[in-house]
Structure 1
Amino acid sequence: MINTIPGALFLIENQHTNKECFRSTHKTTTFSELKENSLKAADGLLSLGIKSNDRVALLSKDRIENYELFFACAIAHAVLTPINWRLQPEEIAYIIEDCTAKIVFIEKDLFPAIVDVMNKLSQIEKIIVIGDKSNTLISTENYLHYEEWSQAVQTPSHNIQPFYEKEGAEQITRNYTTTDAVVQMYTSGTTGRPKGVVLAHYTFFDLLNTMKTEGDNWMGLNSHDSLLLSLPIFHIGGLWWAIQGFLAGAESCLMAFFNAPEAIKIIEQHTITKVALVPAMIQFILSEPNATPDKLRSVNGVLYGASPITPELLTKAKNLFNASFFQIYGMTETGNMAVCLRPEDHNLPHHPYISAAGRALPGVSIKVLDPTGNPLPPGKTGEIVIHSPSRMLGYWHNPEATDETLRDGWVYTGDAGYLDQDGYLYVCDRIKDMIIYAGENIYPAEIESVLADHPAVKECAIIGKPDNRWGEIVTAFIVLNDNTALKKRDVVTFLSGKIADFKIPKAIEYIDQLPRNASGKILKKNLRARYWQDKERQVN
């Protein structure tokens, strides 16, 4: 059974050699071409001095080269670190420095995002630019061009040569261990700094292998499927979905970034059968005038997650897509999905489980604990903890945070919920203060630490306010210093360039003082109360 990325690259290519694997607006590649290009890129990494467990940073909208690099890093025993290209330069620079990347791959169109912080990237040895060389202001004397760099290998190095020979390839794939780190994903941090979640090869194999062993075919992904890749590679959901399609021998159509009209066009033109979306994406598709059941008739499976969905939105989606719906719940730390609400539980409008996140997948265990760590009975709300075969190895260079989140193999999610008598999990609230905006996880501490530096701000607090379009919007409560004034546009101007645009508050309220308890802790539940009091769940 396949359990490493290099092993999968060789064996899946052997089964689907000349079949199309990835398709994008830039190019199309077969399984054989993907393997060949990944091997050349792996050799290129080794020629630049990449060593085992080195981090390789990637700043790019979704394109085929990103997946060539994912496989290349795995072959070279390196760890790919994809970065959210929507972040501000300072945030990008922090991640590159934190992961100690020596090499950064950056899409040409995103190059301006990093130019101004180049002097802060002390350990970078090489920048490789992805994209068309024409009409670029980037000096080829200072930077390598991806296409030229990856195709420069004429004779494979000793480390890569066996991959070109079938017998040798089968031998060399045994040199990889399923517990080796393969990708590092950054999540927003509760303390104001993002943390690098280190994931191993097994994240992409063990859960699905366990399910197959138990006869659970889940979505039934197979080589006849065509997948829409509309989730970004820098989110575990996007990378995980792409690799599952690859392992099934399916063809996948990449979107550089999600755009509802383009998604509809791709689905119709390429007869897409399976899609993975966040609820905000579903809403955007529904709002398009040309979104009709006829145009989307090829879709037979819709996977959604990252934030809950309202019954109203789900009803509209089911009327549009004549497909089976699967909701998943999990997090980067659990290696993506751990819980699933199956199609049979989506029978609207009055199905008893429609407000549940789902039940644990085969191989996954769930407990709900009280504040002292004792398991709670069905119906009692506490912290959700998950034991999954896909869980993270830990946080990069952060043993304290690792020990807090990962205990005896259990991931402490920070979400509050309960299990019912039938094993269905209901997510009610967040023990953490995390805000989910259009599927993006945002932590208030990160915004508060920046906003507090404004000279007019005495203190501030950030919460998520429910919003029908985005799920939740970032809302700031600000206490001003005496004899000062601050308009909303001043707040936006001050934060612009310091944090990503999607983290900037969409709503601002000025108050005389923040509510606190006897020990001085800000009572965010009081700030949230009037917005959430009519909601069944405290996540939207």
Structure 2
Amino acid sequence: MTAPEAPTEAAPPTAAAHQVTSRPPGIAELVSRHAARQPHTPAVICAGRTTDYERLDRESNRTAWAILGSGIPAGGRVAYLGRESEHYYEVFVACAKARMVLVPINWRLTAPEIEHILRDSASELLFVTTDLRATAERAIGPHADVWIVVVDGPAPGAAAGLPAGPDRGHHLAVWKESHSTAAVEGVGPGGASSGPDDPILQLYTSGTTGLPKGVVLAQRSLHAVREALAGAGLDWIDWRPGDLALVGIPGFHVGGIWWASQNLAAGVTNVVLPAFDGRTAVRLIRDLGVTTACVVPSMLRLMLAEPEADRAAFRTLRKIVYGGSPISESLLRESLEIFDCEFAQIYGLTETGNTAVCLPPVDHRPGSLRLRAAGRPYPGIEAKVIGPDGSTLPTGDVGEICLRTPARMIGYWNLPEATARTLVDGWVHTGDAGRLDADGYVHILDRVKDLIIVAGENIYPNEIENALAHHPAVADVAVIGVPDDRFGEAVQAFVAPRDGQEVRARDLVVFLRDRIATFKIPSRFEFVDRIPRNPSGKILRRELREPYWAGRDRRVN
């Protein structure tokens, strides 16, 4: 990427921006429509700051023109590292307008983990919040050709130049201030408008190799389910004029950016938290009159634990959408009682463009056997269960769940073999073991992949094992997920020390802090003489897991 020159007034949009086509409107076009029709409706409320649709449209235009002026070609990758805020959604919409692919980065990752994502995605531009700039600088290193744009904090005057730090950055307010507020939709190769199959997001999800893979999602991934529900006249998940929608799941997760994009597409208000905490969430729902929310089960538990959590605090709520991990029966019963609103459970993967299966409100009746199910596929989405040989199994038989959805990923970035293993003839192989019942409901029973889900975060044991193996006192290690009442599952490490060496759990935790994100660090350690392995050297995880999951009809919690 070449160093952008001083901001200049951008050229006006091409005529192609105004052509009428039969394609579904993208998120950029929908935000602009809402800005024209309901300019003063809040689009994003965060930490007491309100951004209406007119401002979101105007400022995302400026940011889009600034990105285009930086020399990044259409389809280029633009990364974002920061907590939830209106700035994130401005950059998201700007990237859509400029036909760039946004790469949201989990702000809890360490500098080496961030460095891998920046390098793998070939991002040339990184938007970052002030509190994470130092981490971003460490991740980039002294020689990488990545430009930083700081999105928040005090902006230096135009005459003051760049913010303090290496001479390769800007402050967003200064960088975009001289750029046009004119519409950008339609700018691209040949002036063509972006289409439903054009990539818009690249989200990194952990993998069994220990290195995160970039899941590339298209425009259609953001609107396929909403259109399917509307076309069938179903209100499993719906949006109404005047809704205030709490975005509990962070925007670097597919669930968070999917939910927020649905709200923007519907022209309702996103209520976002820089980082989720139960007390703030309860107060926002109560004080702002929040009507809908999307959360993971652990967030429900955190809210219910607050002294202010009662029916009066949640009187305006009409629907809670939850997913990301299974929910316990006791937590669901308490949630139905205290929140006193409709509930919809969603199930899917980053690879399926988020939700592909839904347990609608009608199935959330106390005592219903359907509460044990993940749900049923949306209209136009199919589910099947396959055996080890790939053949489709009869109803009731347990095997790997596969989903066919129009919202599915384009593929893994630069990983054709991994894509071919996961996406087969249009079917996404989920890695989850389960069955279909006679009514077509999906039941999740176990995992085919070695996956741990802690408070909605996907964690793969191999990544932690690789990090622990570098400790000089560790001879061998294995990591599994065990049941946990608060977060669903907890990460447990079995460690075999080297002969004659002593190591403590505290030492290993400190060792891991600069190597993997905090949420991946095991909360439990057990020191053993050896790690059970088969003749080919593979860890016998099922043997390690059995004592913790024995007596449960599901091997997920």
Partner residue in 2 for 1:327:
345
Partner residue in 1 for 2:355:
337
1:174 Cα offset (Å): 6.2
- Select between 338-347 and 6-15 the one with higher mean Cα deviation: 6-15
Q: Secondary structure at the match of 2:141?
A: helix
Post-superposition Cα deviations, 1:411-441, rounded to whole Å, max 9, x if no partner, equal 0001100001111111011100110011100
Q: Which segments of structure 1 move beyond 3 Å, counting only runs of 4 or more?
A: 134-142, 160-163
The 8 Å contact of residues 199 and 219 in structure 2, kept in 1 or not, is answered as: yes
1:270 corresponds to which letter in structure 2? L
| 1:284 is aligned to 2:314 | no
Q: Secondary structure at the match of 1:476?
A: strand
Partner residue in 2 for 1:130:
151
Partner residue in 2 for 1:152:
178
CA distance in structure 1 between the partners assigned to 2:543 and 2:199 by the alignment: 42
1:173 Cα offset (Å): 9.3
CA distance in structure 2 between the partners assigned to 1:121 and 1:412 by the alignment: 39
CA distance in structure 2 between the partners assigned to 1:464 and 1:120 by the alignment: 38
| Identity between Structure 1 and Structure 2 (%) | 40
1:515 Cα offset (Å): 1.8
The 8 Å contact of residues 3 and 206 in structure 1, kept in 2 or not, is answered as: no
Partner residue in 1 for 2:421:
404
Partner residue in 2 for 1:303:
321
Partner residue in 2 for 1:66:
88
The 8 Å contact of residues 215 and 350 in structure 2, kept in 1 or not, is answered as: yes
| 1:239 is aligned to 2:257 | yes
1:115 Cα offset (Å): 2.8
The 8 Å contact of residues 23 and 29 in structure 1, kept in 2 or not, is answered as: yes
Q: Which one of the candidate residues 379, 386, 390 is aligned to 2:403? A: 386
Q: Which one of the candidate residues 434, 443, 451 is aligned to 2:468? A: 451
The 8 Å contact of residues 61 and 183 in structure 2, kept in 1 or not, is answered as: no
Q: Which one of the candidate residues 478, 484, 497 is aligned to 1:467? A: 484
The 8 Å contact of residues 24 and 196 in structure 2, kept in 1 or not, is answered as: no
CA distance in structure 1 between the partners assigned to 2:303 and 2:163 by the alignment: 36
Residues 2, 8 of structure 1: alpha-carbon distance in 2 compared, 3 angstrom cutoff: farther
The 8 Å contact of residues 456 and 484 in structure 1, kept in 2 or not, is answered as: yes
1:81 Cα offset (Å): 0.4
Q: Which one of the candidate residues 57, 60, 65 is aligned to 1:43? A: 65
Q: Secondary structure at the match of 2:314?
A: coil
Residues 26, 89 of structure 1: alpha-carbon distance in 2 compared, 3 angstrom cutoff: farther
CA distance in structure 1 between the partners assigned to 2:307 and 2:229 by the alignment: 39
The 8 Å contact of residues 62 and 256 in structure 1, kept in 2 or not, is answered as: yes
- Select between 479-488 and 204-213 the one with higher mean Cα deviation: 204-213
Partner residue in 2 for 1:52:
74
| 1:108 is aligned to 2:130 | yes
- Normalised to the residue count of structure 1, the TM-score between the two structures is 0.94
CA distance in structure 1 between the partners assigned to 2:252 and 2:207 by the alignment: 16
The 8 Å contact of residues 3 and 202 in structure 1, kept in 2 or not, is answered as: no
1:141 Cα offset (Å): 5.6
Q: Secondary structure at the match of 1:111?
A: helix
1:150 Cα offset (Å): 2.4
Q: Secondary structure at the match of 1:17?
A: coil
CA distance in structure 2 between the partners assigned to 1:173 and 1:71 by the alignment: 18
CA distance in structure 2 between the partners assigned to 1:77 and 1:27 by the alignment: 28
- Select between 516-525 and 443-452 the one with higher mean Cα deviation: 516-525
Q: Secondary structure at the match of 1:421?
A: coil
1:146 Cα offset (Å): 1.1
1:31 Cα offset (Å): 1.0
1:30 corresponds to which letter in structure 2? D
1:5 Cα offset (Å): 2.5
The 8 Å contact of residues 211 and 363 in structure 1, kept in 2 or not, is answered as: no
The 8 Å contact of residues 200 and 219 in structure 2, kept in 1 or not, is answered as: yes
The 8 Å contact of residues 112 and 139 in structure 2, kept in 1 or not, is answered as: yes
Q: Secondary structure at the match of 2:370?
A: coil
1:238 corresponds to which letter in structure 2? G
1:118 Cα offset (Å): 3.2
Flag structure 1 segments of 5+ consecutive residues without an equivalent: none
Post-superposition Cα deviations, 1:160-181, rounded to whole Å, max 9, x if no partner, equal 6566xxxx99xx9961111110
The 8 Å contact of residues 163 and 171 in structure 2, kept in 1 or not, is answered as: no
Partner residue in 2 for 1:85:
107
Partner residue in 2 for 1:477:
494
Q: Secondary structure at the match of 2:55?
A: helix
Post-superposition Cα deviations, 1:461-514, rounded to whole Å, max 9, x if no partner, equal 100011000111110011121111111011111111100011111111111222
| 1:95 is aligned to 2:126 | no
Residues 338, 419 of structure 1: alpha-carbon distance in 2 compared, 3 angstrom cutoff: same
CA distance in structure 2 between the partners assigned to 1:429 and 1:23 by the alignment: 39
The 8 Å contact of residues 57 and 104 in structure 1, kept in 2 or not, is answered as: yes
The 8 Å contact of residues 155 and 173 in structure 2, kept in 1 or not, is answered as: no
CA distance in structure 1 between the partners assigned to 2:550 and 2:466 by the alignment: 28
1:150 corresponds to which letter in structure 2? K
1:139 Cα offset (Å): 3.8
CA distance in structure 2 between the partners assigned to 1:96 and 1:140 by the alignment: 18
Partner residue in 2 for 1:367:
384
The 8 Å contact of residues 61 and 184 in structure 2, kept in 1 or not, is answered as: no
Partner residue in 1 for 2:159:
none
2:175 corresponds to which letter in structure 1? W
| 1:17 is aligned to 2:39 | yes
1:11 Cα offset (Å): 2.5
| 1:221 is aligned to 2:239 | yes
Q: Which one of the candidate residues 413, 430, 441 is aligned to 1:424? A: 441
Post-superposition Cα deviations, 1:55-87, rounded to whole Å, max 9, x if no partner, equal 001001011111111111111111010100001
Partner residue in 1 for 2:226:
208
1:137 Cα offset (Å): 8.1
Q: Which one of the candidate residues 175, 186, 189 is aligned to 2:204? A: 186
2:262 corresponds to which letter in structure 1? Q
1:140 Cα offset (Å): 8.6
Flag structure 2 segments of 5+ consecutive residues without an equivalent: 1-22, 157-161
| 1:119 is aligned to 2:137 | no
Post-superposition Cα deviations, 1:83-110, rounded to whole Å, max 9, x if no partner, equal 0000111101111111111111110011
CA distance in structure 1 between the partners assigned to 2:463 and 2:486 by the alignment: 23
CA distance in structure 1 between the partners assigned to 2:264 and 2:79 by the alignment: 22
